[in-house]
Structure 1
Amino acid sequence: MNDILVLYYSRNGSVAAMAREICRGVEAAGAVARLRTVPPVSTVTEATQPEVPQDGPVYVSHDDLRECSGLILGSPTRFGNMAAPMKYFLDSTSGPWMSGALANKPAAVFTSTSTMHGGQESTLLTMLLPLLHHGMLVAGIPYTEPALSSTQSGGTPYGASHVAGTGSSPAVLTRDEITLCHALGRRVAQFAQKLA
């Protein structure tokens, strides 16, 4: 059975909601979704997080990277780039990089922004850079997926996306955004099965 690692950071819940929908797509393709998150970072160098979060998925480990058959990475957008906690974790992966733990495995990315033009595509592209350095095989969303052409909210060929809005609580994922999350998870799982 192929394990697909769905790894994300979410501050307000939108990226977490996307991650759960992507897991549904992975499982619909007959693979196992391994949902993980990264801990927040602090400007106070003495601050630490408990090894197991109080709620939600457990924190990712390098073993999760070694054991997965594919990786789907998600982060909210911060000035057109991934959030610092995700970057911090990726910066710690020189061990798996040196051993080639992720080489030749399929990978994809997803993001959420507050506004329609909040940097979704630049965030997705910058999230792909470390995955390319790891030797991963990038899977986007092709235009054969009808929701990519009909969406009036999130969704790009670079990966799934969501427009959360600027209110105090994030907007619910739209039907097209959910469809594209499922498609992305399904696509990575199918590639992993073919590569196995």
Structure 2
Amino acid sequence: MSTKLAIVFYSSTGTNFQLAQWAAEGAKEAGAEVRLLKVPELMPQEVVEADPAKVKHQQNVKDVPEVKPEDLEWADAIIFSVSARFGNMASPMKAFFDSLGGLWFQGKLANKVVSAMTSAQNPHGGQEAVILSLYTSMYHWGAIVAAPGYTDQSIFGAGGNPYGVSVSVNGEGEIQGDIDAIRAATSHQAKRTVTVAGWVKQG
């Protein structure tokens, strides 16, 4: 039986959508059944429309389903990808987490295998802090964190973050660094998450 993986992303201009897509590719290569799911935008539409990059991204994800709590109940494993905001996860992702009290209370988030990725405008813009804040919520769920650590050489090429893939972006929202290495590290993180979830599922 294949591992069921939900990849949940929030992205305002497309960076974390790209990371999520690379993760989906890797997970499918590992034999997982994948749901790629977006967290809905909370910014007023007039703010979105004032930024061409946001408008373009909104068009790019218009056919991607919005995540629902039942998607997390369905999943054996979950990968989160979210942009940084002042050293914290962006508020739409936090709002989604805050909607999960019912599942948490029923114990339906326990033993999920989880991992996380992020982006910021520079390496010291909260990249590690954002991932660790995501994992703090996961600990409350009783989830099992599958961080990439240094389990593959690609992690070093992608910047060396052992907590999860993190990238820097320029003013136009373009990912900086070795794209091939970042893609490889993202794929490895997804495959590792699926593998660990398979172990847990098999008991």
Name the TM-score, length of structure 2 as normaliser.
0.85
Q: Counterparts of 1:157 and 1:109 in 2: how far apart (Å)?
A: 11
Q: How does 1:1-196 map to 2 (within 5 A)?
A: 1-42=2-43, 55-151=62-158, 154-165=159-170, 167-171=171-175, 174-196=179-201
Tell me how far 1:93 sits from its aligned partner: 0.4
Residues 155 and 177 in structure 1, CA contact (< 8 A), matched pair in contact too:
no
Identity %: 31
Q: For residues 36-81 of structure 1, what are the alpha-carbon distances to aligned partners after superposition, in whole Å with 9 as ceiling and x for unaligned?
A: 011112479xxxxxxxx97141111111011101011110010111
Q: In structure 2, how many angstroms separate the alpha carbons of the residues matched to 1:24 and 1:35?
A: 11
Match of 2:55 in 1: none
Over 4 Å off, 4+ runs: none
| CA RMSD, Structure 1 to Structure 2 (Å) | 1.8
**Which digits, 9 at most, give the CA deviation of each residue in 1:155-175, with x for residues without a partner?**
41101111112x224236711
Give the unaligned 5+ runs of structure 1: 45-52
How far apart are the structure 2 equivalents of 1:30 and 1:9? 24
Identify unmatched segments of 5+ residues in structure 2.
Answer: 46-58
Contact 1:155 / 1:180 at 8 angstroms: preserved in 2?
no
Q: Distance in 1 between matches of 2:117 and 2:157?
A: 18
Aligned residues: 185
SS class of match (2:27): helix
Is 2:116–2:131's contact at 8 Å kept on the other side of the alignment? yes
Shift of 1:145: 0.8
Q: Do the aligned partners of 2:15 and 2:173 also contact (CA within 8 Å) in 1?
A: no
Please say if residues 25 and 185 of structure 1, whose CA atoms lie closer than 8 Å, have aligned partners that are also in contact: yes
Contact 1:22–1:182, Cα closer than 8 Å, also in 2: yes
Select the structure that is richer in helix. Answer: 2
| Structure 1 residues 8 and 102: CA distance shift in structure 2, 3 A | same
